[in-house]
């Protein structure tokens, strides 16, 4: 089935995988770890979560919403890392800022934004490193500081989750997945976490601050 002109993605999101789902009877956009997506279409935005967290944010008046999917860098065991908060800002803040700013750039208003948050499970090695709880603490604190009301949440526990957001209404369907699905999600998130951790260990580029 071909997308018609009313279902075109916003500029910058043309490469996000979108497909027709017969079960949902809807177009579905898939968000992978480290990505985000916004829409004002009558479609669903989908992601699967283990230790990662997804923030679903929308403007109920404009009918624009989206979700991100992020995983904070781990504090590597037996290594001398800088403060984990600096990496939280580098990755968690980026994920939240990109999602929120993208909604504002297409007509959303910050004072109207609402949120629902999901994920942060304790899975395997991730539970030893407390990655899920770090993600939960970060997203709660971030939204509180930004003054964005959390309408609902399903966080923590041992379950991976499937999340489907309807961006126009802010309605979210959450399904806790069977234990059999954990291994694949762990593998996907571990691969992503290795990449994030590698990048976090690299020095940030020099920056210049200008004063008028």
What per-residue confidence (pLDDT) applies to 123? 75
Task: Express each pLDDT in 130-140 by its tens digit.
Answer: 788 889 999 99
Task: Express each pLDDT in 171-204 by its tens digit.
Answer: 999 999 876 656 666 666 666 666 655 555 554 4
Q: For residue 183, what is the enclosing H or E element? A: helix 182-201
Provide the token pair at 9.
Answer: 């993605």
Q: Does domain 32-198 have CATH number 3.40.228.10?
A: no
Q: What is the mean pLDDT of residues 98-110?
A: 97
What per-residue confidence (pLDDT) applies to 204? 41
Provide the token pair at 89.
Answer: 């800002």
Q: Is the distance from CB of 70 to CB of 99 less than 8 angstroms?
A: no
What per-residue confidence (pLDDT) applies to 80? 40
In the chain, where the domains are located:
32-198
Q: Per-residue pLDDT for 128 more than 50?
A: no
Q: Is the distance from CB of 3 to CB of 18 less than 8 angstroms?
A: yes
Of 96-110, 138-152, 178-192, the range with the lowest mean pLDDT is 178-192
Mean of all residue pLDDT scores within the chain: 81
* 43: nearest Cα among 72, 87, 3, 98: 3
User: How far is the C-alpha of 17 from the C-alpha of 13, rounded, in Å?
Assistant: 9
User: How far is the C-alpha of 191 from the C-alpha of 168, rounded, in Å?
Assistant: 32
For the residues of 10-28, what is the DSSP string, one character each?
PTT-TTS-EEEETTTTEEE
What per-residue confidence (pLDDT) applies to 93? 87
């Amino acid at each position: 089935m071909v997308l018609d002109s009313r279902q075109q993605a916003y500029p910058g999101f043309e490469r996000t995988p979108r497909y027709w789902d017969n079960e949902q009877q809807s177009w579905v956009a898939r968000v992978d770890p480290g990505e985000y997506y916004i829409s004002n279409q009558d479609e669903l935005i989908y992601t699967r979560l283990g230790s990662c967290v997804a923030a679903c944010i929308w403007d109920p008046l404009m009918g624009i919403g989206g979700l991100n999917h992020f995983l904070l860098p781990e504090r590597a065991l037996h290594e001398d890392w800088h403060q984990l908060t600096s990496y939280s800002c580098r990755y968690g803040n980026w994920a939240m800022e990109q999602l929120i700013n993208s909604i504002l750039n297409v007509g959303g208003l910050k004072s109207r934004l609402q949120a629902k948050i999901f994920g942060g499970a304790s899975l395997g090695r991730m539970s030893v490193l407390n990655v899920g709880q770090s993600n939960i603490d970060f997203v709660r604190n971030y939204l509180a500081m930004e003054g964005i009301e959390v309408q609902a949440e399903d966080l923590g526990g041992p379950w991976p989750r499937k999340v489907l957001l309807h961006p126009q209404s802010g309605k979210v369907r959450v399904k806790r997945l069977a234990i059999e699905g954990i291994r694949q999600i762990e593998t996907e998130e571990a691969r992503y976490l290795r990449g994030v951790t590698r990048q976090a260990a690299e020095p940030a580029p020099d920056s210049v601050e200008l004063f008028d």
